[in-house]
Amino acid sequence: MRFKPRGVSGDSTRIDPIHRRSRILRRFLAANSELLELMADLETDLNHLEPGESHIRQPILRLLEGSLLLAENLNLLTRDRHKALYDAQRTIEKEVRGYLSAAAPSADRPLVIPLDKASSGKVRDVGGKAARLGELRVVMSEIVPPGFVISTSAYRLFLERNNLHEQIRGLLKDLSFITERDLFRERTATVRSLVEASPVPREVAEAIANGIMQFPLPWPSHWAVRSSAVGEDGRLSFAGQFDSFLNVPRDELQDAYRKVIASRYADRAVLYRLAGGFTEVDTPMAVLFMPMLDAQSAGVLYTRDPADESADLMLINSVHGLADQLVQGRALADIFVASRSQPWKVVDQQLATRPKMLTTTVEDGGDRTAPSESCDGPSLCGEDLRLLVEIGLKIERRFGRPQDIEWVLTKEGRLMVVQARPLRTEHRPVHGGQSVEVRNALMEGGVTIFPGRTVGPAYVARTSEQLAEAPERAILVVEDATPEIGAAVPFLAGLISERGNPGGHAATLAREFGVPSLFGVEGAIDLLQTGQVLSIDATHRKVFEGALWPEVEERVEVRMRRARTGESVGPLHDWLLTLNLTDPLSVSFRASKCRSVHDIIRFAHEKVVAAVFDLGDEAVTRGQKAVRLDSKVPLGLTVMDLGGAFPKTDKPRRSLTPEEIDSRPFQALWRGIADPAVSWAGRSRVSVSGFASVMVKSVTDPYGSIRQLGERNYLIVSPEYLNLNARLAYHFAMVDAFVCEVPENNYVNFRFRGGAASAERRDLRARFLAEVLLNSKFGVNRRGDLVTGWLRRHSRNESEEGLALLGRLMACARQLDMLMDNKGALDRCVERFLEGNYQEFA
């Protein structure tokens, strides 16, 4: 794609004004389309790449150049009526270029950073986990073990050297977990094996070696290798979403590094990012290396009771040996509840019986599970408990909020902290001192993980497959709260588990997404049945049958909507892709209000089309200005003649019938639109982009208000040319065609991008269009939900057939959302359409 800054002024002034206009317009529309395509690409790129990378720089510069060209063309057409657009463009360009030059190429950043030097200021280099730990190590070096971080720059280098960026993007592109679970799993597995098969670049291997060599001799022989993603432990915790490896021998550290990186593409991690609205750029991966501690016991400390922040209590989970079984939710822990304030005491304790522990005895070669006689007693005793509470309070003071701390008690009796992150707690007062429900509870008991009430149908999942099928808004009932449920959590109404620890990852996720949850509800999986409507009062640990609190369902809905909407992905997105000028009728639809390249494109398009109409008035003295299209198919179209398409009349007319328009491509398109087999009947007002529930504003539409039903949609015609443009914010339907007797000159272009539906449905719609077009001689390109189809150099007949097909497609595609909700339905719709059976779409 190239934008040649050929101004309109280059054209000879002697040229027939009609042709001149037509040429300007066609060129403008072509550039406009290309820019929109660039933006669609960039939208994906901004999610995957760092701004410093050339993959992103090039299209951005082209976008800036292209927007300037649009501004120029517009001003040439309007005799500088929109000069303010230059200023707006200049401001945006300056900001963008400034940002790009400040984004240091990742090559300049260090690959290895000692934990002592990792602090929150370096979070983009070292990730969340390492940054917090690094900060603690500076102030409390005696309780935080030393270590080193292989930075996010190393991660990028790893991807770059192995050419993984493109491959990963290709594999994850357009993936839908809902409609193609197997394919989804297959693809993420492919990504992981790609990563694991890629050599660690020499520089990264050296960085790991240098990290080890910062330790005094003899270098530690066994290490803990943990993920530390950017964004991790921040807004969302990513609890348990990435793998950590313990007891890794020194000579296998490179392998472990690769495995941690690969875990970034575990199914649940990818889903979690999707659900949390995270983008790939938000979450590059750093990896933290720490020598293994010889653990006597380990566990998790919550400096507040997550279920009731106001209580003056700390919660301590503890197991013999390492804590990984505990956080995976697979081992039962001893639970201690301790008072936070003096005089310090354990107010409650619950000892678990455990058959096994994960030994860490380095001399034993590490990673084996072996029974140990020391398992019999409690895993933590008085003095250590007291020390732990003190440490917890100290760390909490340091970070200024309650903490979720992973700790280790070494065999030498030293308490060490290996992770600290903000604890999600629920501050709201528990409604009433006691449950007001008089009706008998179906089940009672368990541990409150996240309090509150919820209502929904039960969904009992006994296997991973069933878990993957968990529907939105369900109350998930499982035997064990493993991190595997992470992907489902954001969309759940509630969660009941027979097992699982309050300190586990699943619990963290439930709190994060505010899902009322009970763990330790024995017998739930057998007693509760899929489909049974339940009401849970997690605060009072009661499960009722039936829908007790209808107002609660609404709250669930709001929460889920929030989980789905992502946030702005940064300043580049704001300056390039965000559309602020959404309403052409608004007073703020002005050149000076353009804040992004997208605004400039939108504004210029609107004004160029208007200008061409005005020019039409000037140039064609006896011709028609824009007229309404009068037909039984109520499309609300305003038609403009580029010259020769309207009947010659003495008196200007306000409307024309389709038959009166002398335009080959239009007649062909109309043949499809008005095909008796496709029914438009009964629809009093149908938008021209009928394709398009684009007319309907959706909750997921980030572009705000769009052109309303009944506003003008433009159709521009000449005897051989047609441009139908229903341009709605970022969502648009466009047909652009030139049809004459010379095949060499003929083309039909079609472009569609639609919003107003969930990502899943947009995806299905795009696929439907793509498949129908592909099966109808069209060349097709689909990027996300942008579908481009074209016929080039086809005979007049074939081109007209193509246009007729587009017409029928417009009529049918509008019902698609109602018809398709899965891949099977998609295939059926494509088949029906191609057979010429349009009944279903009526």
CA 591/CA 617 separation, integer angstroms: 24
Given candidates 16, 166, 312, 364, which one binds other proteins under the rule CB under 8 A? 364
Radius of gyration of the chain (CA): 32
In single-letter form, the type of residue at position 133 comes to: L
CB of 197 to other proteins, least distance (A): 13
**Collapsed DSSP state (helix, strand, coil) of residue 392:** helix
CB 514 within 8 A of CB 562: no
CB of 265 to other proteins, least distance (A): 22
CA 243/CA 269 separation, integer angstroms: 10
Q: What is the DSSP string of 209-277?
A: HHHHHTSPSSPPSEEEEEEEETTTTTTS--TTTS--EEEEEGGGHHHHHHHHHHHTTSHHHHHHHHHTT
Given candidates 365, 523, 546, 647, which one binds other proteins under the rule CB under 8 A? 365
Axis-axis angle for helices 202-213, 253-263 (nearest 10): 120
CA 221/CA 205 separation, integer angstroms: 17
**Site for other proteins contains 202 (CB under 8 A):** yes
| Region from 64-72, 98-106, 210-218, 326-334 binding other proteins, contact rule CB under 8 A | 210-218
**Site for other proteins contains 650 (CB under 8 A):** no
| Residue whose CB is less far from other proteins, 257 or 680 | 257
**Site for other proteins contains 214 (CB under 8 A):** no
Given candidates 178, 212, 351, 352, which one binds other proteins under the rule CB under 8 A? 212
Given candidates 91, 254, 339, 758, which one binds other proteins under the rule CB under 8 A? 254
**Site for other proteins contains 23 (CB under 8 A):** no
| Region from 206-214, 231-239, 480-488, 720-728 binding other proteins, contact rule CB under 8 A | 206-214
CA 725/CA 706 separation, integer angstroms: 14
CB 545 within 8 A of CB 442: yes
**Site for other proteins contains 250 (CB under 8 A):** yes
| Region from 249-257, 428-436, 722-730, 808-816 binding other proteins, contact rule CB under 8 A | 249-257
Tokens of 486: 């992470």
Please give the DSSP secondary-structure letter assigned to residue 375.
Answer: G
Given candidates 8, 140, 175, 205, which one binds other proteins under the rule CB under 8 A? 205
| Residue whose CB is less far from other proteins, 217 or 436 | 217
Given candidates 186, 196, 206, 469, which one binds other proteins under the rule CB under 8 A? 206
Any residues with CB less than 8 A from the CB of 189 and at least 6 apart, and which?
none
Given candidates 17, 110, 146, 249, which one binds other proteins under the rule CB under 8 A? 249
| Region from 24-32, 76-84, 135-143, 209-217 binding other proteins, contact rule CB under 8 A | 209-217
**Site for other proteins contains 413 (CB under 8 A):** no
**Site for other proteins contains 197 (CB under 8 A):** no
**Collapsed DSSP state (helix, strand, coil) of residue 279:** coil
| Residue whose CB is less far from other proteins, 249 or 584 | 249
**Site for other proteins contains 363 (CB under 8 A):** yes
Given candidates 108, 142, 182, 251, which one binds other proteins under the rule CB under 8 A? 251
CA nearest to 748, candidates 779, 772, 718, 771 = 779
Given candidates 91, 167, 210, 679, which one binds other proteins under the rule CB under 8 A? 210
**Site for other proteins contains 435 (CB under 8 A):** no
| Residue whose CB is less far from other proteins, 252 or 711 | 252
| Residue whose CB is less far from other proteins, 213 or 842 | 213
| Residue whose CB is less far from other proteins, 250 or 671 | 250
CB of 369 to other proteins, least distance (A): 13
Given candidates 51, 329, 366, 520, which one binds other proteins under the rule CB under 8 A? 366
Name the burial class of residue 676, with classes exposed (0-12), middle (13-18) and buried (19+) by CB atoms within 10 angstroms of its CB: exposed
CA nearest to 733, candidates 661, 656, 786 = 786
CB of 147 to other proteins, least distance (A): 16
Given candidates 70, 77, 133, 208, which one binds other proteins under the rule CB under 8 A? 208
Please give the DSSP secondary-structure letter assigned to residue 109.
Answer: S
| Residue whose CB is less far from other proteins, 290 or 678 | 290
Given candidates 138, 139, 183, 213, which one binds other proteins under the rule CB under 8 A? 213
Identify each DSSP E strand in 582-701 by its residue range.
627-629, 637-641, 655-656
| Residue whose CB is less far from other proteins, 1 or 370 | 370
| Residue whose CB is less far from other proteins, 78 or 221 | 221
CA 155/CA 147 separation, integer angstroms: 18
Name the burial class of residue 5, with classes exposed (0-12), middle (13-18) and buried (19+) by CB atoms within 10 angstroms of its CB: exposed
Q: Which residue has the tokens 């899965």?
A: 822
CB 795 within 8 A of CB 743: yes
CB of 212 to other proteins, least distance (A): 6
**Site for other proteins contains 209 (CB under 8 A):** yes
| Region from 4-12, 364-372, 643-651, 665-673 binding other proteins, contact rule CB under 8 A | 364-372
List the alpha helices (DSSP H) in 620-758: 664-673
| Residue whose CB is less far from other proteins, 206 or 554 | 206
Torsion over CA: 243, 249, 254, 255 (sign): negative
| Region from 199-207, 455-463, 546-554, 704-712 binding other proteins, contact rule CB under 8 A | 199-207
| Residue whose CB is less far from other proteins, 364 or 390 | 364
**Site for other proteins contains 26 (CB under 8 A):** no
Q: What is the DSSP string of 573-601?
A: HHHHT------TTSTT-SGGG--SHHHHH
**Site for other proteins contains 322 (CB under 8 A):** no
Given candidates 221, 339, 532, 580, which one binds other proteins under the rule CB under 8 A? 221
In single-letter form, the type of residue at position 581 comes to: L
CB of 68 to other proteins, least distance (A): 49
**Site for other proteins contains 161 (CB under 8 A):** no
List the alpha helices (DSSP H) in 401-481: 464-468
**Site for other proteins contains 351 (CB under 8 A):** no
Please give the DSSP secondary-structure letter assigned to residue 201.
Answer: P
| Region from 184-192, 360-368, 685-693, 795-803 binding other proteins, contact rule CB under 8 A | 360-368
CB of 371 to other proteins, least distance (A): 16
**Site for other proteins contains 371 (CB under 8 A):** no
Starting from the edge strand earliest in sequence, which strands make up the sheet with 713-718, in order? 655-656, 627-629, 637-641, 713-718, 721-728, 731-738, 747-753, 786-792, 779-783
Any residues with CB less than 8 A from the CB of 603 and at least 6 apart, and which?
82, 85, 581, 589, 590, 591, 594
Residues that bind other proteins (CB under 8 A): 202, 205-206, 208-210, 212-213, 221, 249-252, 254, 363-366
